[in-house]
Amino acid sequence: MAPSPRDADPVLQNEMDEVSEAINKTIGRLLPETDLAENKLYEAMRHGTLGGGKRLRPFLVVHSAALFNVDPARARRVAAALEFVHCYSLIHDDLPAMDDAALRRGKPTVHKQYDEATAILAGDALLTLAFEVLSESETHEDPRVRCELIKALAKASGGHGMAGGQMLDLIAENEEFDLGTISRMQRMKTGMLMAFACESGAILGKAGEPQRRALRSYAFDLGLAFQVTDDILDVEADPQDTGKDTGKDSQAGKATFVSTLGKEQAKERAEMLVKQAVSHLHVLDGRAKMLKDLAFYVLERRV
Amino acid sequence: MAPSPRDADPVLQNEMDEVSEAINKTIGRLLPETDLAENKLYEAMRHGTLGGGKRLRPFLVVHSAALFNVDPARARRVAAALEFVHCYSLIHDDLPAMDDAALRRGKPTVHKQYDEATAILAGDALLTLAFEVLSESETHEDPRVRCELIKALAKASGGHGMAGGQMLDLIAENEEFDLGTISRMQRMKTGMLMAFACESGAILGKAGEPQRRALRSYAFDLGLAFQVTDDILDVEADPQDTGKDTGKDSQAGKATFVSTLGKEQAKERAEMLVKQAVSHLHVLDGRAKMLKDLAFYVLERRV
């Protein structure tokens, strides 16, 4: 991983690097290189999933699962499935008909590296693979747990979750949204998948409802904080640091937290959200240090 | 439903109409109209799934399940989930970057009726919804059965199934495939989802392996026969009958059964495949009359 221009604290950074490396291995095993005639599809799926990235969601899965003594290999399978969904959404979002992005994580986007049709199919196949991975007994021996994971991931990523949020995002190009609608859009677009990341650890560990609720609430606040800081980075950061085109949202005239609140108020809101996120973790009796540290990192990050 | 130019036998036709009607109701319930800000997404999903079609796959699910005395409401949920996957694939295939089709089932394709971005998202959300439906206890009370359905559907529709077959289809535009590769491509593109349609009834009914194998083999032969007759219709039929642009594959220079075998040999092959399909059903002790009748209908169909 390239060093960040401003690193997180060394313990957190080390843990983030370790999760990234472990998840890359899991993804590599689930998407092996082939010599099939249709190998281009697998190459595109690997290009879209193995190109770095912060692996924030896998970190949340792994460290939520660790709170309930879940076998780390199982947590990594769920983390990989979730990352497949996250990466499929990036591949489809980057298409010319959507955000029309040429660069992602410092590399050409999938449709630039291959072609549009391949990018559409690679996204479709990644989404499908996510559910296949979750349905297998290696993910959990109890099929009830596997079904619960599948239902939760589908709800977080479908029409009432991420895909619906993307639809709102498209509508936002032509309609003025108020802050409430922007927050709902971000909750669907980003928050629900973050909530799945945290709750999936609790599902794997068959944790009780108060702990699930705490992790969901933490994730929603963290997800919103992450989105606010993303909007700030979109107007502030150097594309060489973020590895993607910056300033695109503001250029497209999209309503963002920065355009609605102004930069200073957006920063204050991110800070407030992070404090609120951390406050939900008290029911976990001080065991959630990594999740707490990650929340503060979201404020500090420059990529 | 518009009457076909050449109808199937009246009993079969009546049963096909009844399955279509029941599945439309199930799909309508799973995709209700909303007044949400993102309603356009749901409209596009309804447009892409409720526009008629032969509902061949739902017919196979319902009548395979009936062989094992499965609750018809459960079979219809699986049939709807499968139809969501089939329809998402049509929506994405019709996109300008893929087949660039303007017409489907006599209506504008989803990206023509709405726009490309909405069509991409509607396909994504339908695929996701399919797995959500299968994960719910209304589909089967045994979570082991639900996981088996999810795994089988994912395998049939992902990179090693339908999406991989689509990739081969794209490659076929620039490469000359032999008959073996065309058959493998069709097996992945169409056959595996047909096999899921038939096997899902056996999974729901917890049937034994010999019966599952018989239904899978029936479905693969039927699927291939269906594809051969599709290729014949592509060069023979009137677009007013099929409700879609015809002659597109041959114009695109794609290798098809007709271009490889010639029309007469293709017809012979379809007949041979249908007889072979029916021969697998003997282990079901004459209970599979509807599946047998459907196989012969595939030869007769003009749409």
Domain boundaries, chain B: 10-300
Per-residue model confidence (pLDDT) at position A173? 84
Candidates B167, B168, B196, B200: best to mutate against A (most CBs of A within 10 A) is B167
> Residue B244 — very low, low, confident or very high, per pLDDT cuts 50/70/90?
low
> Contact B158/A123, CB-based, under 8 Å?
no
> Contact A132/B36, CB-based, under 8 Å?
no
Q: CB distance from A40 to chain B under 8 Å? A: yes
Grouping H, G, I as helix, E, B as strand and the rest as coil, residue A98 is coil
pLDDT digits (tens, 9 = 90+) for B165-198: 999 999 988 888 887 888 899 899 999 999 999 9
Residue type, B156: A
Candidates B86, B110, B127, B168: best to mutate against A (most CBs of A within 10 A) is B127
Q: CB distance from A132 to chain B under 8 Å? A: yes
Cα-Cα-Cα-Cα dihedral sign, residues B249, B254, B259, B260: negative
CATH number of B10-300: 1.10.600.10
Q: Are B171 and B37 a contacting pair, CB within 8 Å? A: no
Residues in chain A, pLDDT under 70:
1-8, 237-255
Give backbone dihedrals phi and psi of A98, rounded to 5 degrees, phi first. Answer: -110, -110
> Contact B132/A125, CB-based, under 8 Å?
no
Instruction: Give, in order, the Cα–Cα distances in Å from B292 to each of A153, B170, B271, B281.
Output: 39, 33, 13, 8
Per-residue model confidence (pLDDT) at position B3? 43
> Contact B168/A45, CB-based, under 8 Å?
no
Rounded to the nearest angstrom, the minimum Cα separation between B239 and chain A is: 25
Per-residue model confidence (pLDDT) at position A246? 54
Start-to-end CA distance of chain A, whole Å, equals 13
Per-residue model confidence (pLDDT) at position B242? 60
Q: In residues, how long is chain A?
A: 303
Write the burial class of residue A238 (CB in 10 Å: 0-12 exposed, 13-18 middle, 19+ buried): exposed
Pick from A2, A12, A9, A89: nearest CA to A49: A89
Q: Are strands B103-104 and A107-108 parallel, antiparallel or unpaired?
A: unpaired
Per-residue model confidence (pLDDT) at position A254? 65
Per-residue model confidence (pLDDT) at position A164? 97
Distance of alpha carbon A108 from alpha carbon A118, whole angstroms: 14
Instruction: Give, in order, the Cα–Cα distances in Å from A173 to each of A167, A169, A300, B124, B220.
Output: 10, 7, 29, 21, 46
Per-residue model confidence (pLDDT) at position A244? 60
Q: CB distance from B299 to chain A under 8 Å? A: no
> Contact A154/B124, CB-based, under 8 Å?
no
Q: CB distance from B209 to chain A under 8 Å? A: no
CB atoms inside a 10 Å sphere around CB A180: 8
Q: CB distance from A120 to chain B under 8 Å? A: yes
Q: CB distance from B211 to chain A under 8 Å? A: no
Q: CB distance from B167 to chain A under 8 Å? A: yes
Distance of alpha carbon B287 from alpha carbon B285, whole angstroms: 6
Distance of alpha carbon B225 from alpha carbon B53, whole angstroms: 18
Distance of alpha carbon A189 from alpha carbon A245, whole angstroms: 19
Beta-carbon contacts below 8 Å between A and B: 156
Task: Annotate B249-262 with b (16+ C-beta within 10 A) or e (fewer).
Answer: beeeebbbbbbbbe
Per-residue model confidence (pLDDT) at position B173? 84
Of A97, A150, A157, nearest to B120 by CB-CB distance is A97
DSSP state of A280: G
Q: In residues, how long is chain B?
A: 303
Contacts of B98 in chain A (CB under 8 A): 117, 120
Strands, E, within A93-164: which ranges? 103-104, 107-108
Of A115, A128, A148, nearest to B154 by CB-CB distance is A128
CB proximity list for A267: less than 8 A, separation 6 or greater:
A232
Rounded to the nearest angstrom, the minimum Cα separation between B138 and chain A is: 12
Rounded to the nearest angstrom, the minimum Cα separation between A42 and chain B is: 8
Residue type, A203: I
CA A144 centroid distance within chain? 25
Per-residue model confidence (pLDDT) at position A276? 96
Q: Are strands B107-108 and A103-104 parallel, antiparallel or unpaired?
A: unpaired
Q: CB distance from B139 to chain A under 8 Å? A: no
Contacts of B158 in chain A (CB under 8 A): 125, 128-129, 132
Strands, E, within B85-155: which ranges? 103-104, 107-108
Contacts of B167 in chain A (CB under 8 A): 38, 40-41, 118, 121
Candidates B40, B41, B187: best to mutate against A (most CBs of A within 10 A) is B41
Per-residue model confidence (pLDDT) at position B90? 97
Q: CB distance from A136 to chain B under 8 Å? A: yes
Pick from A196, A171, A182: nearest CA to A81: A196
> Residue B240 — very low, low, confident or very high, per pLDDT cuts 50/70/90?
low
> Contact A116/B97, CB-based, under 8 Å?
yes
Residue type, A285: D
CA B262 centroid distance within chain? 25
pTM of the model: 0.93
Pick from B124, B87, B134: nearest CA to A164: B124
DSSP state of A103: E
Q: CB distance from A200 to chain B under 8 Å? A: no
Supply the Cα-derived Rg of chain A in whole angstroms.
18
Pair of tokens at residue A103:
């660069």
Q: Are A127 and B127 a contacting pair, CB within 8 Å? A: yes
Q: What is the mean pLDDT of residues B16-23?
A: 96
> Residue B258 — very low, low, confident or very high, per pLDDT cuts 50/70/90?
confident
CB proximity list for A271: less than 8 A, separation 6 or greater:
A299
How many Cα neighbours within 13 Å face the side chain of B119? Answer: 27
CB atoms inside a 10 Å sphere around CB A253: 12
**pLDDT over 70, % of chain B:** 91
